Amino acid sequence: MLIYTLKRLLQAIPTLLIVITISFFLMRVAPGGPFDGERQLPPEIEANLMAAYHLDEPLPMQYLRYMGNLLQGDFGPSFKYKDFTVTELIAQGFPVSLEIGGLAILLALIVGLPLGIAAALKRNSTVDYVVMGTALTGIAVPNFVLAPIFALVFGVLLGWLPAGGWNGGALPNLVLPVVALSIQQIAYIARMMRASMIEVLGSHFIRTARAKGLSESEVIWRHAIRPALLPVMSYLGPAIAGIVTGSVVIEQIFGIPGIGRYFVQGALNRDYTLVMGTVVFYGILIVVMNLIVDLLYSALDPQIRYDD
Protein backbone atom coordinates (compact mmCIF):
# COMPACT_ATOMS: atom_id res chain seq x y z
CA MET A 1 0.00 0.00 0.00
CA LEU A 2 2.69 2.43 1.04
CA ILE A 3 4.87 1.32 -1.85
CA TYR A 4 1.94 1.76 -4.21
CA THR A 5 1.37 5.29 -2.94
CA LEU A 6 5.03 6.16 -3.36
CA LYS A 7 5.03 4.69 -6.83
CA ARG A 8 2.04 6.75 -7.82
CA LEU A 9 3.70 9.86 -6.44
CA LEU A 10 6.80 9.09 -8.49
CA GLN A 11 4.63 8.68 -11.58
CA ALA A 12 3.14 12.10 -10.95
CA ILE A 13 6.53 13.76 -11.28
CA PRO A 14 6.77 13.69 -15.09
CA THR A 15 3.27 15.12 -15.30
CA LEU A 16 4.14 17.99 -13.05
CA LEU A 17 7.42 18.57 -14.88
CA ILE A 18 5.52 18.88 -18.13
CA VAL A 19 3.05 21.35 -16.64
CA ILE A 20 5.83 23.46 -15.18
CA THR A 21 7.96 23.35 -18.30
CA ILE A 22 5.12 24.20 -20.67
CA SER A 23 3.99 27.09 -18.50
CA PHE A 24 7.51 28.39 -17.99
CA PHE A 25 8.39 28.54 -21.66
CA LEU A 26 4.97 29.81 -22.72
CA MET A 27 5.49 32.69 -20.34
CA ARG A 28 8.88 33.48 -21.73
CA VAL A 29 7.66 33.65 -25.32
CA ALA A 30 4.79 35.90 -24.28
CA PRO A 31 5.01 39.31 -25.91
CA GLY A 32 6.00 42.19 -23.63
CA GLY A 33 7.80 42.08 -20.31
CA PRO A 34 6.45 42.34 -16.84
CA PHE A 35 7.53 45.94 -16.40
CA ASP A 36 6.30 47.63 -19.53
CA GLY A 37 2.87 49.12 -19.60
CA GLU A 38 2.13 51.67 -16.89
CA ARG A 39 4.93 54.12 -17.62
CA GLN A 40 8.23 54.03 -19.37
CA LEU A 41 10.98 53.15 -16.92
CA PRO A 42 14.48 54.56 -17.33
CA PRO A 43 16.73 51.89 -18.85
CA GLU A 44 19.02 51.63 -15.83
CA ILE A 45 16.11 51.08 -13.45
CA GLU A 46 14.61 48.48 -15.75
CA ALA A 47 17.99 46.74 -15.91
CA ASN A 48 18.15 46.76 -12.12
CA LEU A 49 14.67 45.33 -11.91
CA MET A 50 15.49 42.65 -14.47
CA ALA A 51 18.57 41.73 -12.45
CA ALA A 52 16.60 41.71 -9.22
CA TYR A 53 14.16 39.22 -10.73
CA HIS A 54 17.03 37.32 -12.41
CA LEU A 55 15.48 38.01 -15.81
CA ASP A 56 18.88 38.88 -17.28
CA GLU A 57 20.21 35.35 -16.90
CA PRO A 58 20.15 32.84 -19.76
CA LEU A 59 16.87 30.92 -20.08
CA PRO A 60 18.12 27.53 -18.82
CA MET A 61 19.45 29.23 -15.69
CA GLN A 62 16.14 30.95 -15.10
CA TYR A 63 14.35 27.66 -15.61
CA LEU A 64 16.54 25.87 -13.07
CA ARG A 65 16.20 28.74 -10.64
CA TYR A 66 12.41 28.67 -10.99
CA MET A 67 12.38 24.91 -10.40
CA GLY A 68 14.61 25.30 -7.38
CA ASN A 69 12.33 27.96 -5.92
CA LEU A 70 9.29 25.83 -6.64
CA LEU A 71 10.75 22.97 -4.65
CA GLN A 72 10.86 25.34 -1.70
CA GLY A 73 7.24 26.32 -2.33
CA ASP A 74 8.18 29.68 -3.81
CA PHE A 75 6.16 30.61 -6.88
CA GLY A 76 7.93 33.93 -7.31
CA PRO A 77 6.61 37.49 -7.01
CA SER A 78 3.38 38.67 -8.55
CA PHE A 79 3.98 41.28 -11.23
CA LYS A 80 0.76 43.13 -10.62
CA TYR A 81 0.04 42.68 -6.91
CA LYS A 82 3.40 44.22 -6.16
CA ASP A 83 3.26 43.72 -2.40
CA PHE A 84 2.53 40.02 -2.53
CA THR A 85 4.33 36.92 -3.69
CA VAL A 86 2.32 34.42 -5.70
CA THR A 87 2.72 31.98 -2.84
CA GLU A 88 1.08 34.41 -0.47
CA LEU A 89 -1.82 35.00 -2.86
CA ILE A 90 -2.38 31.26 -3.28
CA ALA A 91 -2.12 30.71 0.45
CA GLN A 92 -4.79 33.36 0.95
CA GLY A 93 -7.11 32.08 -1.72
CA PHE A 94 -6.77 28.35 -1.35
CA PRO A 95 -8.69 27.82 1.92
CA VAL A 96 -11.61 29.70 0.43
CA SER A 97 -11.55 27.69 -2.80
CA LEU A 98 -11.09 24.47 -0.90
CA GLU A 99 -14.13 25.17 1.23
CA ILE A 100 -16.35 25.91 -1.75
CA GLY A 101 -15.01 23.01 -3.82
CA GLY A 102 -15.05 20.49 -0.98
CA LEU A 103 -18.60 21.37 -0.03
CA ALA A 104 -19.65 21.16 -3.67
CA ILE A 105 -18.21 17.69 -4.20
CA LEU A 106 -19.76 16.56 -0.92
CA LEU A 107 -23.13 17.93 -1.94
CA ALA A 108 -22.81 16.29 -5.36
CA LEU A 109 -22.25 12.89 -3.74
CA ILE A 110 -24.88 13.30 -1.04
CA VAL A 111 -27.55 14.29 -3.54
CA GLY A 112 -26.37 12.51 -6.70
CA LEU A 113 -25.86 9.01 -5.34
CA PRO A 114 -29.28 8.57 -3.70
CA LEU A 115 -30.99 10.06 -6.74
CA GLY A 116 -29.21 7.62 -9.02
CA ILE A 117 -30.00 4.67 -6.77
CA ALA A 118 -33.65 5.68 -6.51
CA ALA A 119 -33.94 6.02 -10.27
CA ALA A 120 -32.34 2.62 -10.78
CA LEU A 121 -34.60 0.89 -8.26
CA LYS A 122 -37.72 2.50 -9.72
CA ARG A 123 -36.55 2.01 -13.26
CA ASN A 124 -38.93 3.28 -15.95
CA SER A 125 -41.23 4.80 -13.35
CA THR A 126 -42.21 8.43 -12.92
CA VAL A 127 -39.45 8.84 -10.34
CA ASP A 128 -36.90 7.60 -12.84
CA TYR A 129 -38.12 9.86 -15.64
CA VAL A 130 -38.24 12.93 -13.41
CA VAL A 131 -34.76 12.34 -11.96
CA MET A 132 -33.18 11.59 -15.31
CA GLY A 133 -34.94 14.47 -17.06
CA THR A 134 -33.75 16.87 -14.38
CA ALA A 135 -30.26 15.41 -14.59
CA LEU A 136 -30.13 15.97 -18.32
CA THR A 137 -31.22 19.57 -17.78
CA GLY A 138 -28.52 19.93 -15.14
CA ILE A 139 -25.95 18.79 -17.67
CA ALA A 140 -27.30 21.04 -20.41
CA VAL A 141 -27.33 24.26 -18.37
CA PRO A 142 -23.73 25.29 -17.69
CA ASN A 143 -22.83 26.62 -14.26
CA PHE A 144 -21.94 30.05 -15.59
CA VAL A 145 -25.56 30.40 -16.71
CA LEU A 146 -27.00 28.87 -13.59
CA ALA A 147 -24.94 30.94 -11.16
CA PRO A 148 -26.05 34.39 -12.35
CA ILE A 149 -29.66 33.21 -12.58
CA PHE A 150 -29.44 31.93 -9.00
CA ALA A 151 -27.93 35.21 -7.92
CA LEU A 152 -30.68 37.11 -9.70
CA VAL A 153 -33.60 35.04 -8.44
CA PHE A 154 -32.59 34.16 -4.88
CA GLY A 155 -30.31 37.09 -4.26
CA VAL A 156 -31.85 40.06 -6.02
CA LEU A 157 -35.51 39.28 -6.70
CA LEU A 158 -36.40 37.20 -3.66
CA GLY A 159 -33.66 38.55 -1.44
CA TRP A 160 -33.35 35.28 0.50
CA LEU A 161 -29.60 34.95 0.23
CA PRO A 162 -26.73 37.28 -0.55
CA ALA A 163 -26.20 37.54 -4.30
CA GLY A 164 -22.44 37.68 -3.86
CA GLY A 165 -19.52 38.38 -1.60
CA TRP A 166 -17.68 36.20 0.84
CA ASN A 167 -18.28 37.71 4.27
CA GLY A 168 -15.65 35.51 5.88
CA GLY A 169 -17.35 32.34 4.70
CA ALA A 170 -20.70 32.87 6.44
CA LEU A 171 -23.22 30.12 5.69
CA PRO A 172 -25.70 32.26 3.71
CA ASN A 173 -22.87 33.39 1.45
CA LEU A 174 -21.86 29.80 0.81
CA VAL A 175 -25.21 28.39 -0.29
CA LEU A 176 -25.58 29.80 -3.79
CA PRO A 177 -22.01 29.28 -5.02
CA VAL A 178 -21.83 25.74 -3.65
CA VAL A 179 -25.18 24.75 -5.15
CA ALA A 180 -24.37 26.33 -8.51
CA LEU A 181 -21.01 24.58 -8.55
CA SER A 182 -22.36 21.16 -7.68
CA ILE A 183 -25.45 20.93 -9.88
CA GLN A 184 -23.68 19.70 -12.98
CA GLN A 185 -21.75 17.10 -10.97
CA ILE A 186 -24.95 16.01 -9.21
CA ALA A 187 -26.43 15.36 -12.62
CA TYR A 188 -23.43 13.38 -13.87
CA ILE A 189 -23.14 11.35 -10.67
CA ALA A 190 -26.86 10.54 -10.62
CA ARG A 191 -26.73 9.33 -14.21
CA MET A 192 -23.65 7.21 -13.65
CA MET A 193 -24.94 5.75 -10.43
CA ARG A 194 -28.22 4.81 -12.08
CA ALA A 195 -26.50 3.11 -14.99
CA SER A 196 -24.06 1.16 -12.86
CA MET A 197 -26.72 0.22 -10.33
CA ILE A 198 -28.92 -1.17 -13.08
CA GLU A 199 -26.02 -3.17 -14.40
CA VAL A 200 -25.15 -4.57 -10.98
CA LEU A 201 -28.77 -5.43 -10.22
CA GLY A 202 -28.83 -7.57 -13.34
CA SER A 203 -25.66 -9.45 -12.47
CA HIS A 204 -25.38 -13.05 -11.45
CA PHE A 205 -24.23 -12.49 -7.89
CA ILE A 206 -27.34 -10.47 -7.14
CA ARG A 207 -29.37 -13.45 -8.31
CA THR A 208 -27.31 -15.56 -5.91
CA ALA A 209 -28.02 -13.13 -3.06
CA ARG A 210 -31.75 -13.33 -3.75
CA ALA A 211 -31.56 -17.11 -3.96
CA LYS A 212 -30.09 -17.12 -0.47
CA GLY A 213 -33.34 -15.70 0.82
CA LEU A 214 -32.07 -12.21 1.58
CA SER A 215 -34.66 -9.45 1.63
CA GLU A 216 -34.61 -6.86 -1.12
CA SER A 217 -33.11 -4.21 1.16
CA GLU A 218 -30.39 -6.61 2.31
CA VAL A 219 -29.64 -7.45 -1.32
CA ILE A 220 -29.32 -3.78 -2.18
CA TRP A 221 -27.39 -2.59 0.86
CA ARG A 222 -25.06 -5.54 1.30
CA HIS A 223 -24.51 -6.65 -2.24
CA ALA A 224 -25.47 -4.05 -4.83
CA ILE A 225 -24.34 -0.63 -3.65
CA ARG A 226 -20.64 -1.20 -3.16
CA PRO A 227 -19.96 -2.73 -6.57
CA ALA A 228 -22.19 -0.08 -8.16
CA LEU A 229 -20.10 2.63 -6.52
CA LEU A 230 -16.89 1.52 -8.25
CA PRO A 231 -17.45 3.18 -11.64
CA VAL A 232 -18.72 6.30 -9.90
CA MET A 233 -15.55 6.37 -7.81
CA SER A 234 -13.41 6.33 -10.89
CA TYR A 235 -15.41 9.30 -12.16
CA LEU A 236 -14.52 11.28 -9.03
CA GLY A 237 -11.15 12.31 -10.48
CA PRO A 238 -12.70 14.07 -13.49
CA ALA A 239 -15.48 15.37 -11.22
CA ILE A 240 -12.97 17.06 -8.97
CA ALA A 241 -11.20 18.54 -11.96
CA GLY A 242 -14.58 19.79 -13.18
CA ILE A 243 -15.33 21.40 -9.83
CA VAL A 244 -11.92 23.06 -9.74
CA THR A 245 -12.45 24.45 -13.23
CA GLY A 246 -15.99 25.48 -12.41
CA SER A 247 -14.88 27.26 -9.28
CA VAL A 248 -13.01 29.70 -11.50
CA VAL A 249 -16.23 31.12 -12.95
CA ILE A 250 -18.25 30.71 -9.78
CA GLU A 251 -15.73 32.71 -7.77
CA GLN A 252 -15.73 35.32 -10.49
CA ILE A 253 -19.52 35.59 -10.57
CA PHE A 254 -20.06 35.66 -6.81
CA GLY A 255 -16.98 37.75 -6.09
CA ILE A 256 -15.35 35.16 -3.85
CA PRO A 257 -11.67 35.73 -3.02
CA GLY A 258 -10.41 32.25 -3.93
CA ILE A 259 -7.54 31.27 -6.21
CA GLY A 260 -9.96 30.96 -9.12
CA ARG A 261 -10.49 34.67 -9.04
CA TYR A 262 -6.77 35.41 -8.84
CA PHE A 263 -6.34 33.14 -11.78
CA VAL A 264 -8.89 34.97 -13.93
CA GLN A 265 -7.68 38.39 -12.82
CA GLY A 266 -4.12 37.32 -13.49
CA ALA A 267 -5.06 36.07 -16.94
CA LEU A 268 -6.91 39.26 -17.85
CA ASN A 269 -4.14 41.49 -16.44
CA ARG A 270 -1.39 39.41 -17.99
CA ASP A 271 0.12 38.84 -14.58
CA TYR A 272 2.26 36.02 -15.90
CA THR A 273 3.82 34.81 -12.70
CA LEU A 274 0.46 34.68 -10.98
CA VAL A 275 -1.17 32.75 -13.84
CA MET A 276 1.72 30.37 -14.04
CA GLY A 277 1.78 29.88 -10.30
CA THR A 278 -1.90 29.06 -10.19
CA VAL A 279 -1.64 26.68 -13.14
CA VAL A 280 1.19 24.79 -11.47
CA PHE A 281 -0.71 24.79 -8.22
CA TYR A 282 -3.85 23.44 -9.93
CA GLY A 283 -1.68 20.81 -11.59
CA ILE A 284 -0.36 19.61 -8.26
CA LEU A 285 -3.83 19.73 -6.76
CA ILE A 286 -5.39 17.62 -9.51
CA VAL A 287 -2.57 15.08 -9.44
CA VAL A 288 -2.88 14.71 -5.67
CA MET A 289 -6.66 14.45 -5.83
CA ASN A 290 -6.41 11.75 -8.50
CA LEU A 291 -4.05 9.83 -6.29
CA ILE A 292 -6.44 10.06 -3.35
CA VAL A 293 -9.33 8.90 -5.53
CA ASP A 294 -7.28 5.93 -6.73
CA LEU A 295 -6.39 4.95 -3.19
CA LEU A 296 -10.06 5.20 -2.20
CA TYR A 297 -10.96 3.05 -5.16
CA SER A 298 -8.50 0.37 -4.21
CA ALA A 299 -9.93 0.35 -0.72
CA LEU A 300 -13.31 -0.53 -2.22
CA ASP A 301 -12.10 -3.17 -4.67
CA PRO A 302 -10.06 -6.05 -3.25
CA GLN A 303 -9.01 -7.07 -6.72
CA ILE A 304 -6.77 -4.06 -7.27
CA ARG A 305 -3.23 -5.19 -6.82
CA TYR A 306 -0.68 -2.70 -5.58
CA ASP A 307 2.23 -4.20 -7.46
CA ASP A 308 1.07 -2.86 -10.81
Partner 1 sequence: MTQSLLEIDKLSVTFQLPTGPVTAVKDVSFTIAEGETLALVGESGSGKSVTSTAAMRLLPELAETTGAIRFNGENLLEVTPKRMRRVRGNDISMIFQEPMTSLNPLHRIGRQIGEVLEKHKQLKGRENRERVLALLEQVGIPEPERRIDSYPYELSGGQRQRVMIAMALACEPKLLIADEPTTALDVTVQAQILDLLKSLQAQYGMAILFITHDLSIVRHFADSVCVMRYGEVVETGRTLEVFDDPKHDYTRMLLDAIPRGRKEPAPADAPVLLSGRDVKVRFSLKKRLFGKDDYFEAVRGIDLSVRRGETLGIVGESGSGKSTLGRALLRLLQSTGDIRFEQSDLQALDKSGMRPLRSRLQVVFQDPFGSLSPRMTVGEVISEGLKVHHPEMNRRQRDAEVVKALEEVALDPAMRNRYPHEFSGGQRQRIAIARALILKPELLLLDEPTSALDRSVQVRVIDLLRDLQKKHGLTYLFISHDLSVVRALSDHVLVMKEGQVIEQGPSEALFTQPREPYTQALLKAAFLEEETVAA
Partner 2 sequence: MTSDSKPYSGEQANAAPLPAGGPNPPRSPEPETSAQAAPAGESLARDAWRRLSQNRAAMASLGLLVAIILVCIVGPWLLPWGLAEVDWNAFGTGPTLENAHYLGTDANGRDLLTRVLYGGRISLSVALVASFVSLLIGVLYGAISGYLGGRVDNLMMRFVDIMYSLPFMFLVILLMVVFGRNIFLIYAAIGAVEWLDMARIVRGQTLALKRREYIEAAHALGVRDSKIVTRHLIPNAIGPVIIYVTLTVPKVILLESFLSFLGLGVQEPLTSWGVLISEGVDMMESSPWMLLVPSAFLAMTLFCLNFLGDGLRDALDPKTR
Closest CB 147 distance from partner 2, rounded Å = 8
CA distance 203 to 92: 49
Binding of residue 299 to partner 1 (CB under 8 A): no
Determine which residue in the list 7, 149, 207, 288 makes contact with partner 1, applying CB under 8 A: 207
Answer for the pair 261, 277: CB distance below 8 angstroms, yes or no: no
Of residues 22 through 41, those in contact with partner 2 by CB under 8 A are 22-23, 26-27, 29-30
CA angle 5, 15, 241 (to 5 degrees): 80
* Residue 21, binding choice from partner 2, partner 1, none, Cβ under 5 to 8 Å by partner class: none
CA distance 83 to 290: 34
Of residues 77 through 96, those in contact with partner 1 by CB under 8 A are none
Binding of residue 42 to partner 1 (CB under 8 A): no
Nearer to partner 2, 31 or 168 (CB): 31
Binding mask 226-245 for partner 2 (x = CB under 8 A): ---------------x--xx
Binding of residue 222 to partner 1 (CB under 8 A): yes
Closest CB 37 distance from partner 2, rounded Å = 15
Q: Can you list the pairs that 56-61 forms with residues at least 24 positions away whose Cβ atoms lie under 8 Å? A: 59/28
Q: How many residues bind partner 1 (CB under 8 A)?
A: 21
Indicate the SS3 state at residue 34.
Answer: coil
Give me the sign of the Cα torsion angle 110, 111, 115, 116.
Answer: negative
CA 154 from chain centre, in angstroms, equals: 25
CA distance 102 to 169: 13
Those residues whose C-beta lies under 8 Å from the C-beta of residue 150, and which sit 6 or more positions away, are 176, 179, 180
Answer for the pair 75, 273: CB distance below 8 angstroms, yes or no: yes
Closest CB 120 distance from partner 1, rounded Å = 14
Residue ranges binding partner 2 (CB under 8 A): 12, 14-15, 18-19, 22-23, 26-27, 29-30, 136-137, 139-142, 144-145, 148-149, 151-152, 156, 241, 244-245, 248-249, 252-253, 263-264, 267-268, 270, 272, 275-276, 278-279, 282-283, 285-287, 290
